[in-house]
Structure 1
Amino acid sequence: MIGLPWIRTLPWVFCLLLSGPALAVGLGELQAETRLGQQLNARISIDPGGANISLNELQASVLPPGPDAAPESTHYSYQVTVEEAKGDGFRVRIRSRRPIAEPYLELRVQLRWPGGLLTREYTLLLD
């Protein structure tokens, strides 16, 4: 019975060896070219993380403020698109339908693709 404990771990070793690499799609930093009183014009780079995804498989949206959002926070209506970035990769483009009146803006951006779902929160300070 001395050498038998390794037999119980052998199936786990095979599972680790046979599992594929983890492909993690990610959202980069938000870049905005907007001043207070203007419509939001922002973009977020998408890191495909080695996943083989195409433009038509990516869907992005801005979610309503979360339960912990400030009660006075305003939810704006946004036009959200996924487009090819210059060079290689993709990006999310976010445009508000009306001017931003508050200097502090929180965005919850959700990205969907066939292999998963990612939500990231962004905070913008406009002047």
Structure 2
Amino acid sequence: MAAIAARHSWALGLGELTLSSYLNEPFRAEVALLEADLLDDEDVQVGLAPDADFSRFGLERVFVLSDIRFEIQSGSSGKRVMLSTEFPLREPYLDFIIEARWPDGRLLREYTVLMDLPPTTGG
């Protein structure tokens, strides 16, 4: 589910979330910023959506979500939003909304994350 408001024919997009951590580890994930090449990193703000948007989507904004940090990184493959926490994440299931804002628009996208247990090594 996504909502877009933009004044130009092109609009920023949020790609799929790629998870790179396990349950009981600090949260690490990334989301591609689509169609963002024409924008400077400082022109885009990405973070959790406000409480009102969580309510509108019928989601609870659980406290643990406040620990997630958002950082935009640019590379040869484009712009990405890196999501991380300092402390281990103990919630096996997260449902949250990311908000992206830029000078000409706003985008909301809901993400559901199922945290796997770390792989075990045979002994």
TM-score normalized by structure 1?
A: 0.71
- Structure 1 Cα separation of the partners of residues 89 and 50 of structure 2: 16
Out of 41, 49, 54, the position equivalent to 1:63 is 49
**Counterpart of 1:28?**
15
| 2:31 matches 1:41 | no
- Structure 2 residue ranges without an equivalent (≥5): 1-7, 117-123
Q: Report the 3-state secondary structure (helix = DSSP H, G, I; strand = E; otherwise coil) of the residue aligned with 2:42.
A: helix
Percent sequence identity is 28
Structure-1 separation of matches of 2:105 and 2:50? 20
Residue 74 (structure 1) shift: 4.2
Q: How many residues align?
A: 105
Equivalent residue in structure 2 for 1:53, among 39, 49, 54: 39
SS in 2 for 1:27: strand
User: What are the equivalent positions in structure 2 for 1:37-116 lying under 5 Å apart?
Assistant: 37-48=24-35, 52-63=38-49, 66-67=54-55, 68-69=58-59, 73-76=62-65, 77-85=67-75, 87-116=76-105
* Highest RCO, 1 vs 2 (Cα 8 Å, sep ≥ 6): 2
**Which structure 1 segments of 5+ residues have no match?**
1-20
CA distance in 2, matches of 1:36, 1:64: 26
Q: 1:95 to 1:105 in 2, by over 3 A?
A: same
Whole-angstrom CA distance in 2 between matches of 1:110 and 1:75: 17
Cα RMSD after superposing both structures? 2.3
Query: Post-superposition, which runs of at least 4 consecutive aligned residues in structure 1 deviate over 3 A?
Result: none
Q: How far did residue 25 of structure 1 move?
A: 1.1
